[in-house]
A and B are shown apart, each in its own frame.
Chain A
């Protein structure tokens, strides 16, 4: 009944939107002055696109391959360091590596290529270590994956979290100081000039992730997520495909790490801890596990809320309300509470497992007038449904209570409530059972 647009129109529409967005970002970054409060918008766009990329890469693992991995911050860390180490200008080495005699690597890829190729060399010099960061992370993930990916869900989560912590300790190790600068910050490396840069890189990367998900390999990943045993029975080599997803996801985490290094202008291993991984995971959850569109929206909302909209909560005044409760840190508390509400009451996130499509978008627009008209009726229906749910809950409660009373009565009359189960092993207190 709905006429769908043909694919050429859709592609054209998408292209126009993307080009317009890039132009706007480019223009905004050039026009907004440093002191303006709208500068925050630029920050949100930059950081948002970086986190959109890492969230999409985590979603590829958690949402599309069903691997509950919590190593993303560790992989970003390697990416950030790899990029920074190879782009610190030769002249700045003595200052940056002041405790390590100017460090081991005395050159910068950017400078070398800029000398030979000019402006093009400059960007190529940024691009190569960025891809290199991804490749190194991918290699490390490949090695980590060999033991770790054979583990079941919860163990995988803990093992990847553990590896991320090991990596963090490793990068702060003094012996590696000539390369990683030990526990000191890396700075002075080449960064990008305009907010368009991270948007483009993140955009291309996410597009590649989407292409992968919609390929035959992506289908195999989703099959593993839905049912490992059935996937294996259909000839999908579990280990090979899990490793593939893990390595590709890590590659993009590495690239996003490099982008984050550029965004922050200084980098240190300490903040790449479990909290950072948790934040990435929560972005994925807010957007919807299994939706890349959701991860993008989630990332921008998350950064906008935490960096910009809720800032007033830390400063004592927000939306015209002022309170002594609002001191530094309050923003994060409110934020965490909001996230818990989403986790508990809106578990499917913003997009569920759906992706954006022009057809759905136009159908949604068209349905608005109708939806507005029927709003009161739907409200009524909803409240009625709620009432009913409440009533049935109360009934269930009463039933449970009756059952409990019965149990009590039985207990009083000396009847056994349950037969003790045999626990054969003296030492084992809880036995494990399959599902």
Chain B
């Protein structure tokens, strides 16, 4: 299945091995194997309900996968196998291959350098643009709540540094002029940019983008495509993105994985995917 894996000499920063997610009797993600290499932009596509966002949730610790393992920067951080009731109810493959149960809360995953955006934008509604970014920097500051409340020297210095960095970041994503606006008052496209800026503020090495071009017109998605390429270079990122806009996916992704009904039906470069009959059948055929 993963034919391109061995051709790539770059190190693997994110690896999903046999990830299966079963809710009750429904297998939402079925045995997904996926690699993201350093500085690579990888696409994850598939029709609605194919299990793409569920896969993201398994990586970021929002869900515990039913079976399989997630490796970040060469280290297994999440692993699970069917236990309890699921032992008999499990419908996926590779039962017995995994024996450890390692879980990780989303904030810990973020601390490991995996940041994400959300399909239906989840900004902090009661905060300004700048504050949204500052929240993402909170985990990297070292002052205690006591020191921060009473404005110790360290707290003041950290706050100042955070502000400077946040403003710098906002400049890079063209939101500097909007820094004091309420996040919800931004136009839709800028809200998407802010979500990405906020994710970048956590100092990630891997960025997961969940449908960043949703609701954008061709012009806007063109801009977004260039924007994603730019931040990849500027922030030295590896990117895994879910997207429906074929134009974006085909234009920017070096490697593409295709899901359908939870299962992985193909992977390869843009050309390979476009030529793959199974993909055309399941996805492109119906769409274009």
A interface, CB within 8 angstroms of B: 208, 211-212, 215-217, 219-220, 222-223, 225-227, 229-238, 244, 248, 290, 353
Which among A215, A220, A225, A248 has the greatest number of chain B C-beta atoms within 10 A? A215
Task: Check A232 against B105 for contact (C-beta < 8 Å).
Answer: yes
B side interface size, CB within 8 A: 38
User: Among B10-18, B133-141, B248-256, B277-285, which stretch is in contact with chain A?
Assistant: B133-141
Task: Check B116 against A233 for contact (C-beta < 8 Å).
Answer: yes
B interface, CB within 8 angstroms of A: 60, 62, 105-107, 110-111, 115-116, 118, 122-127, 131, 134-136, 138-141, 143, 145, 148-151, 155, 158-159, 162, 198-199, 201-202
Task: Check B135 against A232 for contact (C-beta < 8 Å).
Answer: no
- Measured between beta carbons, the chain B residues less than 8 angstroms from A231 are 124, 135
Task: Check B135 against A220 for contact (C-beta < 8 Å).
Answer: yes
Instruction: List 30 contacting pairs A-B, 8 Å CB cutoff, sorted by A.
Output: A208-B149, A211-B149, A211-B150, A212-B145, A215-B145, A215-B151, A216-B134, A217-B138, A219-B127, A219-B134, A220-B135, A222-B127, A226-B124, A226-B127, A227-B124, A230-B118, A233-B60, A233-B107, A233-B110, A234-B107, A234-B135, A234-B136, A235-B107, A235-B136, A235-B139, A235-B140, A235-B202, A236-B135, A237-B139, A238-B105
Task: Check A217 against B145 for contact (C-beta < 8 Å).
Answer: yes
Distance to closest chain A CB from B183 (angstroms): 9
- Measured between beta carbons, the chain A residues less than 8 angstroms from B141 are 216
Distance to closest chain B CB from A238 (angstroms): 7
| Bound form: Cα–Cα A236–B159 in Å | 16
Q: Which residue of B lies closest to A238 (CB)?
A: B107
- Measured between beta carbons, the chain A residues less than 8 angstroms from B111 are 235
3 closest residue pairs by CB, A with B: A235-B139, A226-B124, A230-B122
Are A229 and B62 CB-contacts (below 8 A) given A216-B148, A235-B110, A290-B126? yes
| Bound form: Cα–Cα A361–B131 in Å | 24
- Measured between beta carbons, the chain B residues less than 8 angstroms from A353 are 126
- Measured between beta carbons, the chain A residues less than 8 angstroms from B140 are 235
Distance to closest chain B CB from A103 (angstroms): 35
| Bound form: Cα–Cα A222–B150 in Å | 19
Q: Which residue of A lies closest to B62 (CB)?
A: A229
Q: Which residue of A lies closest to B133 (CB)?
A: A234
Distance to closest chain B CB from A204 (angstroms): 12
Distance to closest chain A CB from B263 (angstroms): 25
Which among B105, B126, B199 has the greatest number of chain A C-beta atoms within 10 A? B126
Distance to closest chain A CB from B269 (angstroms): 30
Task: Check A230 against B126 for contact (C-beta < 8 Å).
Answer: no
- Measured between beta carbons, the chain B residues less than 8 angstroms from A223 are 124, 127, 135, 138
Task: Check B126 against A232 for contact (C-beta < 8 Å).
Answer: no
- Measured between beta carbons, the chain B residues less than 8 angstroms from A215 are 145, 148-149, 151, 155, 159
Are A234 and B202 CB-contacts (below 8 A) given A211-B150, A215-B149, A229-B62? yes
Which among A226, A230, A232, A236 has the greatest number of chain B C-beta atoms within 10 A? A230
Q: Which residue of B lies closest to A235 (CB)?
A: B139
| Bound form: Cα–Cα A208–B127 in Å | 21
Task: Check A234 against B139 for contact (C-beta < 8 Å).
Answer: yes
| Bound form: Cα–Cα A235–B107 in Å | 4
| Bound form: Cα–Cα A229–B62 in Å | 8
Q: Which residue of B lies closest to A63 (CB)?
A: B126
Task: Check B122 against A229 for contact (C-beta < 8 Å).
Answer: yes
| Bound form: Cα–Cα A236–B111 in Å | 9
Partner of B126, one of A208, A222, A244: A222
Task: Check B125 against A233 for contact (C-beta < 8 Å).
Answer: no
Which among B124, B131, B151, B201 has the greatest number of chain A C-beta atoms within 10 A? B124
Are A230 and B107 CB-contacts (below 8 A) given A216-B134, A216-B159, A217-B148? no
* Contacts A231-B124, A235-B107 supplied; 12 other A-B pairs, CB < 8 Å: A211-B150, A215-B159, A216-B155, A226-B125, A229-B62, A232-B105, A234-B139, A234-B198, A234-B199, A236-B107, A236-B135, A244-B145
Task: Check B126 against A212 for contact (C-beta < 8 Å).
Answer: no
| Bound form: Cα–Cα A360–B285 in Å | 59
- Measured between beta carbons, the chain B residues less than 8 angstroms from A222 are 124, 126-127, 131, 135
- Measured between beta carbons, the chain A residues less than 8 angstroms from B201 are 234
| Bound form: Cα–Cα A198–B116 in Å | 48
Task: Check A237 against B150 for contact (C-beta < 8 Å).
Answer: no
Distance to closest chain A CB from B206 (angstroms): 13
Task: Check B107 against A237 for contact (C-beta < 8 Å).
Answer: yes
Q: Which residue of B lies closest to A240 (CB)?
A: B107
Distance to closest chain A CB from B194 (angstroms): 12
Distance to closest chain B CB from A235 (angstroms): 3
| Bound form: Cα–Cα A153–B81 in Å | 31
- Measured between beta carbons, the chain B residues less than 8 angstroms from A233 are 60, 106-107, 110, 115-116, 118, 122
Distance to closest chain A CB from B120 (angstroms): 11
| Bound form: Cα–Cα A212–B151 in Å | 9
| Bound form: Cα–Cα A373–B127 in Å | 34
Q: Which residue of B lies closest to A226 (CB)?
A: B124
- Measured between beta carbons, the chain B residues less than 8 angstroms from A229 are 62, 106, 118, 122
| Bound form: Cα–Cα A230–B194 in Å | 13
| Bound form: Cα–Cα A235–B106 in Å | 7
Are A217 and B149 CB-contacts (below 8 A) given A230-B118, A232-B107, A237-B107? yes
